[in-house]
Structure 1
């Protein structure tokens, strides 16, 4: 019988039940060959088992892309009319070209949102929950230097929710660690052992730490698939901030079982648990606008869909056969291993004939979001590099046309910022040219009229209104849908608060847009110039960023805003008014960024009932339970303790740590590893544990954690004033 979930403390010794169970099941390997982007034959594509009509998908695509093309054509014509009052100059043609690119991007988003809006109006129904399952599914959570109080609480809450469905025997749970912080590694092991002690072996929780985080998250998942994937027909991939109800989990498993052609089925995760102003803006936008966008994508993508890397179920054998990622030739940032692996994995699965699609109406899938603008920009920098890498994948042989469109969308989502920036610069140059450069009355080619750029102000105003309408339409559609649904409307604070919240989100998003434009443009330029972003762990708490860091990050945005405002005002009042939203956003970059990460600002709006979502008004039971478990886990202190000191103090923990170590690769004779040599020398020189802990650097601590001989040297040290003598 399992022990009580809430009565077992962290200081209790590892029970016999924990010592008798290995940290991972026996290996059941699958081959995962590296796929080629240059070679592919149509004969390699599997034939579908179920013959399905694709006419609805074809018609949806004709609507989305056909209407977007018509809109773009109309917008381009109107822009040409705006600038062609007189003879059109080279700069004006450049402006028309940039406008066409930017307008086509938002036109597709608009027509897709129209499709999603009307699809949601039809109130599509979710099938009943399954009463039985026949296959086994691994629920895997990759972690990288995360707080164990948070991640283990989420996984435990998911386990409890799945058990409540009565189908829990079909699921096993894996924590797949790529952690490089020594204290976080030991905290993970302690949290895992404590979790097992509470729940007992029948819960089937497993933990594995990789010696090297080769290929990062994609390599982490691939390692699991190749070594243990043979045990499971499916795997459900989570992120460290994921949360999914048992109902959602079993429905995904049932959907995969019912569809022999499905390779990946993606759920739509909603953002929850956010409290800072910026995070609550994202949470509100994702809840109101997200379903409209997701439903539109789902309808026109059909079974040529995409994968977002988490909260999705995958057919394990198919993934092993087809999703082995190749390295791109050359060095990072555009070469090396693929950062945004999920798009490419979906593309390779689809190329091989497996269906990839989304279930946007499936509730119970959640995630969290960055707490501030700076946190978002740090994550966005990595995503930017990953999407720009797709420029080298989009032409891979055998990919489906919709797959190439997914890559193009991801690439354009970042190139749009520099394109927008260039459009602003060209617009300023044209106004400057019109204002200060004298017309050329007597050109060398004997023109009858002077060359003097002119604009049609009425058409320009109408085109601006059209552009803004297309940009804001998805947000308006989402607001209308929530207003029409009484339960959601009341849970969002009522009609008035909902409308005020939508206007607030639109206004703040408009002010933040020019800041994000410059941040993303800078990321694009840096990546194209060869600067690699690396892979830093995400900050997931609601803590604010020091003000000096905010000033350092945004000082040049503010300076640029001041220079742009002054220049525009000196050139023409009309230019200043036209650029005022951009100028204002940049001038306010520092206070806006500071305010975005403030917990008090977000909670104040929450008390006023603004930016409220139904999930915030009545939190999902699984979120409430996960928060309770997180508070309990925090009292254990695993995340705050010194990892080496914890191992030094607890012989049972040392024993289990040694059992869980991955086989180390042998050092070649004559090759001295600097960190290993330094760690060994410092341990040999130290007399007490406190001396050793004060001397050892993080990389040296990691070496000790991986080497049983060095751990023995650590244990033999004397206890110090703050340390305790290791048990004999």
Structure 2
């Protein structure tokens, strides 16, 4: 036996990170040579420090792509988590209880329920009505969406005949967001199930895929979490299509390379994954962080920490690259993508508390550190660029004073700038070589037709240009997010806007990217007056900032439908007032709402009297006469609702507020 077969886990870590560090050391040495062209001072040491960390990060990204290419060319990773339908065909899931949970929060109810209906019917066709239960876990706080969820749930049960298998539960108070919602489910219902498949509101998974996940967990009892690779689907905007194609072309190499060294401590993304519930409930409860502004309190990004805790408990966290019919949607525009990044930025920075935990293994800590640095690196890059520009101007002034014009041209322009150009080429190679390699591999594939090659070339050029234009602006915005987090500005986790079928307005584009635009204009003017060479050298950065509103607008387009059409369509939605009217007036909606409410045995006689008075006031003076809090109090009370409903149908129109009279039931 060789070393690989004896200890593959340790071997892979040493091989991968050894290669990363060798490459990083080489780049750092070249930069040291560049700085040592003259006497090294304190500023140079700062620059060397920042460069060494940034180049290490670049080397990591390059190496996971390189290792991924090598493994793919050799036929795949022999130790990867393979899910073979033929091998799992004999596994019986008849007595294996699986919960499929879908947390939702003010989502497009029709789209979410349509996906749930399709998934339930597929899994029923695959396994019958036994084994898989679906849970719609709502944290919705908009009354109009809440009522639509309840109405659509009844329709869903009729459509699928899923009574007793599809459940809807809405929390009155959405403590700790999505993680709190999942935690609440585990506390109340987790003991009834062996596995939990977690989906996002925009997720979709085929019945066969869910079945294979459960079978794989049955055969490999050491797996605690099994993450799938969800494919981006339902793309409408150019922004979505670019990232969908980018995923199909590049992601398998990067994910294969990352999985090479992570192996049994793989990534967990918090959705489109299956979890073994018993150890998850016992070991993965999220701790409370110390109260320290935005980096304390509740954990905003829970998935990485849950994976680390699962690994600490002795179970593995695996990642499967097999096609399991796992899908997700992508943010429709650059603005939505950055809003999501801001939430992830704060959540990832919070994870620094866990770096000192002795119980977590090396891979888990490295994953946490990489997550933190994925946003902190932007601040490092901005500082490095600023210090480099200052160093360039300082050296330029020195060489102009120290040498004649002929010597200056030889020493500064040819030697000094030559070394700088060499470093820039190496850095850009680490960034773009994996992309060129992936493109070349696909482009030169034998069975690729001429038309497909043309489409691939168009995508590659478009994606390269768009990524090149977006990167400096992303860097600037990520620096903002890091600063907001450090000064204590907390992010409120909101539902994602998943539909901008007519694109962003020019006003919203310029409003959202006004700061990068201003920074770009000021930087260009300042640098042009200061030093034209630096002006041209930094042009990719400030030019990107200037073009950011235009890029945001154009990439959000999917059609040329007029803005008026979109606004009219959006205005047809049910208002909060209309939703309340439906609950209180429509017997069918009232019955559905009452059916899905829990009895509250702790309501005292005094509380009931208070609710009765509130119901009488709403009837006599209209909804506008009471606060939103009081309305919600009434809507959450079976006793209060029953009292209002009884009064409403017994009271003549002259004794009601005018807002209740002459209204048709929506």
The bucket for the TM-score relative to the shorter chain is 0.7 to 0.9
Question: Given that residues 181 and 698 in structure 1 are in contact (C-alpha distance below 8 angstroms), is that contact kept between their aligned partners in structure 2?
Answer: no
TM-score norm. by structure 2 comes to: 0.87
Aligned to 1:459: 419
Aligned to 2:69: 117
Give the drift of 1:372. Answer: 1.0
TM alignment of 1:212-611, pairs within 5 A: 212-436=173-397, 456-483=416-443, 489=448, 494-543=452-501, 544-600=503-559
Give the drift of 1:643. Answer: 2.5
Tell me, in whole angstroms, the C-alpha distance in 2 between the residues paired with 1:417 and 1:679.
Answer: 57
Tell me, in whole angstroms, the C-alpha distance in 2 between the residues paired with 1:725 and 1:70.
Answer: 72
Question: Given that residues 599 and 638 in structure 2 are in contact (C-alpha distance below 8 angstroms), is that contact kept between their aligned partners in structure 1?
Answer: no
1:236 aligned counterpart, secondary structure? strand
Could you say which structure has the higher helix fraction? 2
Structure 2 residue 614 is matched with structure 1 residue 654:
no
Give the 3 Å change call, closer, same or farther, for CA 645–123 of structure 1 in structure 2.
farther
Give the 3 Å change call, closer, same or farther, for CA 682–665 of structure 1 in structure 2.
closer
Structure 2 residue 32 is matched with structure 1 residue 80:
yes
Tell me, in whole angstroms, the C-alpha distance in 2 between the residues paired with 1:592 and 1:375.
Answer: 14
Give the 3 Å change call, closer, same or farther, for CA 679–377 of structure 1 in structure 2.
farther
Tell me, in whole angstroms, the C-alpha distance in 1 between the residues paired with 2:316 and 2:512.
Answer: 43
The gaps in structure 2 that reach 5 residues or longer are 77-81, 403-410, 562-569, 649-655
Tell me, in whole angstroms, the C-alpha distance in 2 between the residues paired with 1:407 and 1:376.
Answer: 21
Question: Given that residues 142 and 576 in structure 2 are in contact (C-alpha distance below 8 angstroms), is that contact kept between their aligned partners in structure 1?
Answer: no
Aligned to 1:186: 147
Aligned to 1:630: none
Give the drift of 1:664. Answer: 5.0
Give the drift of 1:645. Answer: 2.4
What is the number of residues matched between the two proteins?
625
Give the drift of 1:121. Answer: 2.5
- What whole-Å deviation, never above 9, does each CA across 1:90-110 have from its counterpart, x for those lacking one? 222222221111111010111
Give the drift of 1:287. Answer: 1.8
1:456 aligned counterpart, secondary structure? helix
Question: Given that residues 83 and 212 in structure 2 are in contact (C-alpha distance below 8 angstroms), is that contact kept between their aligned partners in structure 1?
Answer: no
- What whole-Å deviation, never above 9, does each CA across 1:618-655 have from its counterpart, x for those lacking one? xxxxxxxxxxxxxxxx9x98899932222234324323
Question: Given that residues 431 and 571 in structure 1 are in contact (C-alpha distance below 8 angstroms), is that contact kept between their aligned partners in structure 2?
Answer: no
Question: Given that residues 72 and 107 in structure 1 are in contact (C-alpha distance below 8 angstroms), is that contact kept between their aligned partners in structure 2?
Answer: yes
- What whole-Å deviation, never above 9, does each CA across 1:155-175 have from its counterpart, x for those lacking one? 112122223334663211110
Structure 2 residue 16 is matched with structure 1 residue 64:
yes
Give the 3 Å change call, closer, same or farther, for CA 678–704 of structure 1 in structure 2.
closer
Structure 2 residue 85 is matched with structure 1 residue 128:
yes
Tell me, in whole angstroms, the C-alpha distance in 1 between the residues paired with 2:366 and 2:531.
Answer: 41
Give the 3 Å change call, closer, same or farther, for CA 402–182 of structure 1 in structure 2.
same
- What whole-Å deviation, never above 9, does each CA across 1:301-355 have from its counterpart, x for those lacking one? 1111221100000001111111111110114411111111111111111001011
TM-score norm. by structure 1 comes to: 0.80
Give the 3 Å change call, closer, same or farther, for CA 725–102 of structure 1 in structure 2.
closer
Tell me, in whole angstroms, the C-alpha distance in 2 between the residues paired with 1:720 and 1:208.
Answer: 30
Give the 3 Å change call, closer, same or farther, for CA 126–352 of structure 1 in structure 2.
closer
Structure 2 residue 54 is matched with structure 1 residue 99:
no
Question: Given that residues 143 and 576 in structure 2 are in contact (C-alpha distance below 8 angstroms), is that contact kept between their aligned partners in structure 1?
Answer: no
- What whole-Å deviation, never above 9, does each CA across 1:492-547 have from its counterpart, x for those lacking one? 96122212211210111110111111111001001101111111111111343333
Question: Given that residues 615 and 634 in structure 2 are in contact (C-alpha distance below 8 angstroms), is that contact kept between their aligned partners in structure 1?
Answer: no
Which one of 708, 714, 717 corresponds to residue 638 of structure 2? Answer: 708
Give the 3 Å change call, closer, same or farther, for CA 91–679 of structure 1 in structure 2.
farther
Question: Given that residues 265 and 312 in structure 1 are in contact (C-alpha distance below 8 angstroms), is that contact kept between their aligned partners in structure 2?
Answer: yes
Tell me, in whole angstroms, the C-alpha distance in 2 between the residues paired with 1:329 and 1:587.
Answer: 40
Structure 2 residue 617 is matched with structure 1 residue 684:
yes
Structure 2 residue 581 is matched with structure 1 residue 645:
yes
Give the drift of 1:59. Answer: 3.0
Tell me, in whole angstroms, the C-alpha distance in 1 between the residues paired with 2:44 and 2:384.
Answer: 10
Structure 2 residue 30 is matched with structure 1 residue 90:
no
Tell me, in whole angstroms, the C-alpha distance in 2 between the residues paired with 1:655 and 1:484.
Answer: 63
1:241 aligned counterpart, secondary structure? coil
* RMSD (CA atoms): 3.2
Tell me, in whole angstroms, the C-alpha distance in 1 between the residues paired with 2:515 and 2:396.
Answer: 28
2:224 aligned counterpart, secondary structure? strand
Task: Tell which deviates more after alignment, 192-201 or 156-165.
Answer: 156-165
- What whole-Å deviation, never above 9, does each CA across 1:458-482 have from its counterpart, x for those lacking one? 2221211111111123323432443
Aligned to 1:205: 166
Task: Tell which deviates more after alignment, 496-505 or 117-126.
Answer: 117-126
Question: Given that residues 151 and 592 in structure 2 are in contact (C-alpha distance below 8 angstroms), is that contact kept between their aligned partners in structure 1?
Answer: no
Give the 3 Å change call, closer, same or farther, for CA 426–646 of structure 1 in structure 2.
same
2:225 aligned counterpart, secondary structure? strand
